[in-house]
Structure formats: structure tokens, C-alpha cells
Amino acid sequence: MRRVIAGAYDAGGTGLPDRARLAAAVGGGDVHVEDLGPLRVAVAGGPDAVGRAGAAVAILDGDVYNLDDLAREAGLAPPGQSPAPLLAALHGRLGDALLPRLRGDFALLLWDEDRDSGLLVRDQTAGRALVHASSGGRLLFASEISHLLELMPATPAPDPVSMAHWINVSAPPGDRTLYRDVRRLPAGHLLRLDRGGIRASRYWIPQYRGTLRGSREDLATGLREVLTEAVRRRLAPEGTTGVLLSGGLDSSSVAAVAMRLVAPELRPRTAYSAVFPRHPSTDESGLIASLARDLRFDPVWMEVNRGSLFPGALDYLRTWRVPPTSPNLFFWNPMFRHAAAAGLTSLLDGEGGDQVFGLSPYLIADRVRRGRMLSAVRLARRMPGAGPNPPWRSVRSKVVDVGVRGALPVRVQAWRRSRAPVERYASSWLLPETARAFAEGDESWRWRGQSGPLWWNYQVKETTTGIGPALTLDHVRRRNTMSGITPRHPLLDVDVIEYMLRVPPETAYDWRYSRPLLRDSLAGVLVDDVRLRPEKSNFDAIFHEALLGQDLPTIRRLLLSGDSEIRAYADQERLRTDLLELAPERYPRGLVWWALPVWRATTAELFLRGLADPAGLDAIMEAAAPPAPDISIGRATVGERAAA
């Protein structure tokens, strides 16, 4: 359930924003403002958004999928129209031990009126968000940055470290955001509010308990069971959940489980698919048609031919007051609006599959640490895509770069990094102070210092603190929410993650293809055309065409003009010579790594201009004069689609 929460905490209760300002921050409409002593909070959805059980109070933004099970175990009545009263009762009975047992996508406020203390809680896998800032001795918090900014006395300046990471195609480190002094609550964390202060802590993180024993078949069966439960949890019984479907392994696995392995009354009624007939390297219409025939459904097809990156990016920026990470909003936005108009409220997707089921290369480093060099070489020869007889140079490179260097003690790695010039990690067009801010804020290597095997720590980092939880999932949620659609990510279910963290890591090493255990688990469930396909498509072709077409002159004008805001972070001349006026095919790292920095620099410029002059964003759109996107959406049978 989508709600918006905004509030303030002041231990003395004297510096709280007035009720009207809180209501306005949430956005008006059906808003309820609750006074809880030193805490005042506004929530969209009216009084039933607040649940009480004695002195315990709960306010929920999002969904908890296992409340029925928790209620049954506690001997309580199942949740009614609103889950908030049951959450209040469960927390009153179980205390903080409840939190790691919750399964869902949620931001949760829990309050004890007797003690005048409480918690702000974010789910374990970044399905919902909580952001906060200290202002005048108070803590201000909200579901999204755009709502939090409405409570602050003035819009904060950009955060220099986060801006350095954004422009350098990275995620803001730690709990930083693009705004100075605005912090995000990381996934699996809570903020404790009481008269002793405000303290952040982690309530959930996987613990290393060794690996599961059993045959490959047993492991695949266990994965199919937890995956089926993860999908079932996210299906609305009233039939308002659909599937976002491509021809790739992750989304098609979700679709196959939803259409085949859950109860018929829960199965989705619609699948939405984007196809790209002008871009054969991206188009998956044949695979989607194969899935549709096998699973017996007729998808809604969106045919994408061309479009501009600017309208979607500017709409997103105006709505959320942060830039988008993906450039493909020009075709996703119409699709989600179409789904909402058809009555869908949520869409299952395949987000997170690469990280959850992917290979941990640092198993090679673990073997090196134990002196098992022959085993390390054998693993390097079995890397996905290596082929049956990989070149010795490629094998040696993996053993040295990942195995030997990865096995170095973390203090040695930290020393080597501190001694390296910042240019090794930062783009050439960053100003020296921006490059230093990037290097000083870079925490991408710190996971190596955790206890447990390197392979396991890497997988934990990828699924709980990597770029997905730190950035991508926020973008996906906001993108869908703009059209009234809730994204649901079964592959990021806590039980799926914890299961895969107990699977022996050797199972992911298969020279034929990636994610072999997922493929094994869906034998007989997912059509083999998709299940055993070694390649993976992406949307780069449509992005690159837009970037290199009509949008590029506008991008050059924005970034190279005399009033460019990015001059505070980038050397314009180096930006010109090393990127914007360099033919993409001549870029040392290729077209993909030419396009991503151009996109990040452009969205950084739009963000900075919006801060300096919000009305100026309209002028940018007028100057860009983007054409209407060439997109068509409609339902057709597989046979009709094939004939077309």
C-alpha cells in the first residue's frame, strides 16, 4: 500500500512544524496528522493509516507480505483493511525482535506512547525509502527527498562527495544523498528516537553459517520453493498485479513461477513487454512470443522506435527533485500509465537477479588465500562465458587480478589505494578537488574487511549495499510511482537472498552461462528457449540512438556553455576533448562507457540548474524541442503479433 509519511521529532516537543506545513509536505488530499508528544507525523491515507494496540502505535508506508503468518504464530487476528494495528500489536508483544522477521517493501514508524520513544525502520532490501535531516535541534524525516525538502527551512546545497560519485558513474557512498546534510536510512537499518538521542543501527544483516549440503538437484528444488513463495507473497488476490516481462532470464523466471506454480486465483492477468523492432540486438519479441505461447497468455506489447531522453528526465527531476539514473523513461512512463489505466496497481519484475544469483569472483581469492592455486585456476577456467577452452592469458588475468590481488589483506589494499593517484579511479574531466572528494568517499572496497569468506562478503555487499540498494531501486520505485504503479521484486525477497547465500558458491561457476542454479530450478517450468539462452539483452541501443541523435547538440550546449553549473565539478575543456567531442567509437572503453558518463554529466547539470532556477528547466525543454516519442502500445494475440 503506497502511503507518504513526513514528520519531525524533537525530544522537547517544542520545535515541531505546525500541522498545516506537515500536511502540505505530504501533498494534501486525504492526510492525517498525528501528534505523539515529541513526535508529529503526517501520513497520506486518513486516520486508518495509524494503527494502535494499547500504547503501541504503527504507521506503514508499503507492504508487509507475511503478516498473516506472523499473526497466526502470535495468536492474533489476521490484518484487516489496514495492517497498521496488527503491526502495532506485534511490536508491542515481540519488541524489536519483530523487525528481522518482517518480509516486505516498507518504511515503518513504530512508537511507544508510554515511553515517548520509537523507531523509524526501513525494509531489508530497499523496497521503500526513509530520508532524514537534522534542523534546529529537530530530526525531520520523510518517505522521499522531495517531501523532506518541503519541511526544511531552505533547500540544502549539493553534497560535494555525492556529486563527485554521481558524475563519476557511481552511487553516493554510505548514507549520503545529493543534498548536503540529507541522509538516507540504508536498507535493513533503523533510527531509534528517545530522550537519549537519535541513533542509527542495523537490525538485519545476513550471518555466515556455512553452506548447504545436498545434491545439485536438492539445491535447485529448494530454490524453486523459496522463489515460489516470494512470488506468491507479492500477488494481490484481487488480480491487480501484472508482470513486467522481457525475454531475459530474470523477469521470465518470475513470470513462469507466477503463471505456473502459484494458485490459479492469484495468477497475474497481464504481462507488459517492450519490443524494439528497429534494434535487433535489443528486440526480444520472438522470445516473449515463445513465453506467451508456453505460459498461455497474450501480453500487452509496447513497440518502441525512437524518442528523446529529455522529457522523461525533466519530469522525474521536477517530481522527485533528484535526477534519474536510467535514461529510458521516455518509453517506460507511457507503459506504466497504460498499466495503471487498465486497473493494475503493481507489477512484478526481475530486478536484482544478476546480484542474487550471480557468481562471486572472489571465491578465486579465497582459494588463493588457502594456497589452493590449482583450484583457483580451475575456477577461473569455468567463469561464465569463458567457453570450454578459454585462452591461458584470460585465465591468468583472472587469477592474478581477482585471486591474488583480492586475497591481499584489507589494510594492504587500503594502503595501496591511498598511495595511488586519484586519476586512477576518477574520470579525467573531474576537477582535482572533485576527484579527491570521490577518492576520499569511495567505500567500494571496505566489504573485504568483514568477517567471513571473501566470496560471501562480496555477495552480501552486492545484494544489501551495492548500487542496487543504494541507487537503482530508488529510481525504479519513483519511476513506477509516477504512474501509480507499485514495483514488486520477488528475486529480492529476504528468504531468496538468505537461501542463495547458503548455496555452495561453486555452483555459479559454469562456462556455458550465468546463474546456472536458477536455470536448473526452473527446468520444466520455464521454456528452454529462454531458460538455456546464454546471451543477455539490454536497452543500450535505444539509449545510444537517442543520445547520439537529436539530444547530443542540446547536451553539448548545456555542458559547455559559459553558464554551465557543472563547471563547479568538471573541467569543461577536458569534458569537451575527452568526452563530448570525441567520437564514441574512439573512446578507450567503448560506446557503453562513453554514453554513461555523458548521461550522468547531463543529469547532474539538469539537477544543478533546477536548484539554481527551477523555472529554467522549462526553458531547457523548449530549447531541446524534442519530438514526440515514436511508441505504440496495445494488446494483441501472439499470432497477430507474429503476423504484424
Residue-wise pLDDT tens digits, 104-149: 999 999 999 999 999 999 999 999 999 999 977 799 999 999 999 9
Residue 234, all three cell numbers: 507479492
Confidence check: pLDDT of 643 > 50: no
pLDDT band at 641; cut points 50, 70, 90: low
Q: How far is CA 637 from CA 252, 296, 629, in A?
A: 18, 10, 24
Confidence check: pLDDT of 238 > 70: yes
pLDDT band at 370; cut points 50, 70, 90: very high
Query: What is the sign, positive or negative, of the torsion defined by CA atoms of 445, 451, 452, 456?
Result: negative
SS3 track for 50-102: EEEECCEEEEEEEEECCHHHHHHHHCCCCCCCCCHHHHHHHHHHHHHHHHHHC
Confidence check: pLDDT of 182 > 90: yes
Bridge partners of residue 48, in order along the sequence: none
Residues 6+ apart with CB under 8 A from 621: 310, 311, 314
pLDDT band at 421; cut points 50, 70, 90: confident
Residues 6+ apart with CB under 8 A from 219: 212, 503, 504, 507, 517
**Which residue in the block uniquely carries the three cell numbers 502511503?**
3
**So what's the pLDDT on residue 480?**
96
User: Phi, psi (5° rounding) for residue 345?
Assistant: -115, -15
Q: How many CA atoms lie within 13 A of 503 on its CB side?
A: 33
Q: Are 579 and 594 in contact (CB under 8 A)?
A: yes
Residue 273, all three cell numbers: 513487454
How do residues 522-548 score in pLDDT, each as one tens digit?
999 999 999 999 888 878 888 999 999
The enclosing H or E element of 415 equals helix 410-419
**So what's the pLDDT on residue 94?**
94
Residues 6+ apart with CB under 8 A from 503: 211, 212, 219, 223, 517
User: Phi, psi (5° rounding) for residue 630?
Assistant: -90, 90
Confidence check: pLDDT of 445 > 90: no
Q: Would residue 296 be called left, alpha or beta, if left means φ above 0 and alpha means ψ between -120 and 50 degrees?
A: left
Residue 71's CB is within 10 A of a number of other CB atoms, namely 18
**So what's the pLDDT on residue 637?**
52
Q: Of 34-48, 307-321, 494-508, 610-624, which range is least confident? A: 610-624
**So what's the pLDDT on residue 131?**
98
Top-confidence residue, 428 or 48: 428
Which runs of consecutive H residues, i.e. helices, occur in 482-631? 494-500, 516-521, 528-531, 540-548, 551-560, 572-575, 591-612, 616-624
The conformation of residue 27, written as its DSSP 8-state character, comes to T
User: Phi, psi (5° rounding) for residue 41?
Assistant: -140, 140
Mean pLDDT of the chain: 92
Confidence check: pLDDT of 474 > 50: yes
Q: What is the mean pLDDT of residues 395-403?
A: 95
How do residues 277-300 score in pLDDT, each as one tens digit?
988 888 999 999 999 999 988 789
Q: Are 518 and 353 in contact (CB under 8 A)?
A: yes
**So what's the pLDDT on residue 120?**
98
Which runs of consecutive H residues, i.e. helices, occur in 106-215? 145-151, 160-167
